[in-house]
Amino acid sequence: MGRQHRAASGHERAVPERSWVLSGSTGLILLTSVVIFASVHGAGTLLYLAFRFPAELDPVAEAISYYAYVDGARVRFTVALLEMALAGAALTLALLKAGALRRTAALVLMNSWCAGVVLVALFPTDDDPRILSVSGVIHQVAGASLFVTLPLAVLLALREPSGAVRARGVATTLRRAAIATLALALAYLTARLPDIAPGWPLVSAIGNVAVGGLLQRALFAGELVLLLVLAGWLFAVTRSGAPLDGDGAGDPAGRDG
């Protein structure tokens, strides 16, 4: 083999290696790994706080936002939320990279969810059922949005023209989890009515059932399921080399109609 031919061959081998880390399946695997680690670690921290500080904050009756006022819990709580936001951002990038998130509305909702989690982390609520400060208003509005934006984004992603997120079994799980999360959001809003509108009829009866904290934690669990199912599916499909577009997207056996 001549020197010129060897040089050309070496050049051909070097070209794809330059973008190996940032493109193709490697990028998706890195992003989905970030989603899985950050979301599990963040959720694990919130679970730890429930068992570590049950006397300071009742996990059944009180919202997790009040960990901001528990000594030894505020930093962990803030970091856990920022980890969840990181997981959401990494998942958004992974879905875009895989061509599974092309609708503008779904993308806006995913970005809104990430922004909402960050705002909830950085702007603590008031240490009172009433909202008295600007920080408390920001926290409440952002908190209300993040409980609906992620499940709605997932439902829209399931209707993508590319059909990427239609793998048999995965789409059904995502749809059920998203609908269940929205139902929990409605239940949580109902549980908060005594604080939001104390003068409404039947509010006194609702006030006797103090399960707002439990419902809120169930909401976070539902959103964790959505993050992990999407990330796990993308990770598995990327490792297997199955196609993400067209019929049977992400599943050689077919797709969920």
Give the pLDDT mean for 2-20: 42
Res 47 pLDDT > 70: yes
The domain segmentation of the chain, as residue ranges, is 24-240
Res 249 pLDDT > 60: no
Distance CA 102, CA 89 (A): 15
Give the pLDDT mean for 183-203: 77
Res 10 pLDDT > 50: no
| Res 73: pLDDT | 95
pLDDT band at 210 (very low <50, low <70, confident <90, very high): confident
Average pLDDT of every residue of the chain: 82
Distance CA 62, CA 58 (A): 5
Q: Which residue has the higher pLDDT, 5 or 71?
A: 71
| Res 248: pLDDT | 42
Q: Which residue has the higher pLDDT, 28 or 20?
A: 28
Give the pLDDT mean for 21-41: 84
Distance CA 239, CA 182 (A): 32
pLDDT, tens digit, for every residue of 214-227?
999 999 999 999 99
Among 5-9, 130-134, 240-244, the range scoring the smallest mean pLDDT is: 5-9
3-state secondary structure the chain: CCHHHHHHHHHHHHHHHCCCCCCHHHHHHHHHHHHHHHHHHHHHHHHHHHHHCCCCCCCCCCCHHHHHHCCCCHHHHHHHHHHHHHHHHHHHHHHHHHCCCCCHHHHHHHHHHHHHHHHHHHCCCCCCCCCCCHHHHHHHHHHHHHHHHHHHHHHHHCCCCCCCCCECCHHHHHHHHHHHHHHHHHHHHHHCHHHHCCCCCCHHHHHCCCCHHHHHHHHHHHHHHHHHHHHHHHHHHHHHCCCCCCCCCCCCCCECC
Q: Which residue has the higher pLDDT, 256 or 43?
A: 43
| Res 67: pLDDT | 96
Res 141 pLDDT > 90: yes
255 has which bridge partners? 167
